[in-house]
Amino acid sequence: MSGTGPVLLMVDDRPSTFTRYAARTLPEHLVLLRFEELRADLSEDHLRRTAHLPAFWVRAAEPLEREAERYLAWAAAELPVAPERFCNPSEPQQALAQRFAALAGLPHLTEQQVAWVRDKAVMKRRFRELGLRTAAFARVREAAAITAFAAEHGWPLVLKPVDSFACVDTHRLDGPESLSSLDLTARDWMVEQFLGGTEWEVCAVVHRGEVLDAWPSAMPCRPLDIVNGAMNANISVGTDEAPPVDLRALLQTVVTGMDIDHGYAHMEFFLVDGELYAGEIGLRLAGCEIPANHGHAYGFDVFGATLDVYRGLAPKLSYRQRRCAGDLLLPLPGSGTVRRITPAEELLRVPGVVDAVLKVGVGDTVSARRASHNASGYVHVVGASIEEVERRMRDVLGAFVIDLTPAIDPAPVIDLAPVIDPAPAREGAR
Q: Is 283 exposed, middle or buried (0-12, 13-18, 19+ CB in 10 A)?
A: buried
Closest listed residue to residue 237, CA positions, set 396, 351, 388, 353: 388
Tell me the average pLDDT across 323-328: 98
pLDDT tier, 75 (very low <50, low <70, confident <90, very high otherwise): very high
pLDDT score of 107: 98
Q: Compute the radius of gyration of the chain from its Cα atoms.
A: 21
**19-31 pLDDT per residue, tens:** 999 999 999 999 9
Q: List the end-to-end C-alpha distance of the chain, in Å, as a whole number.
A: 20
Spatial contact of 244 and 264, defined as CB atoms under 8 Å apart: no
Dihedral, 411, 415, 416, 420 alpha carbons, nearest 10: -140
Which contiguous run of DSSP H or E holds residue 252?
Answer: helix 247-257
User: DSSP secondary-structure letter at 408?
Assistant: -
Spatial contact of 332 and 368, defined as CB atoms under 8 Å apart: yes
pLDDT score of 2: 57
Paired with 402 in beta bridges are 341
The DSSP secondary structure of 269-302, one letter per residue, reads: EEEETTEEEEEEEESS--STTHHHHHHHHHTS-H
Spatial contact of 308 and 392, defined as CB atoms under 8 Å apart: no
**364-403 pLDDT per residue, tens:** 998 877 776 778 999 999 999 999 999 999 999 999 999 9
Question: What percent of the chain has a predicted confidence (pLDDT) above 90?
Answer: 81
Closest listed residue to residue 264, CA positions, set 320, 318, 201: 201
Half-sphere exposure of 120 (CA within 13 A, CB side): 29
pLDDT score of 423: 32
Q: Mean pLDDT score of the chain, rounded to an integer?
A: 91
Spatial contact of 317 and 353, defined as CB atoms under 8 Å apart: no
Domains and CATH numbers, the chain: 8-108 (3.40.50), 136-193 (3.30.1490.20), 197-322 (3.30.470.20), 328-430 (no CATH)
> CA-to-CA distance for 187 and 162, rounded, in angstroms?
8
Paired with 275 in beta bridges are 272
Structure pTM?
A: 0.90
Q: What are phi and psi of 57, to 5 degrees?
A: -100, 120
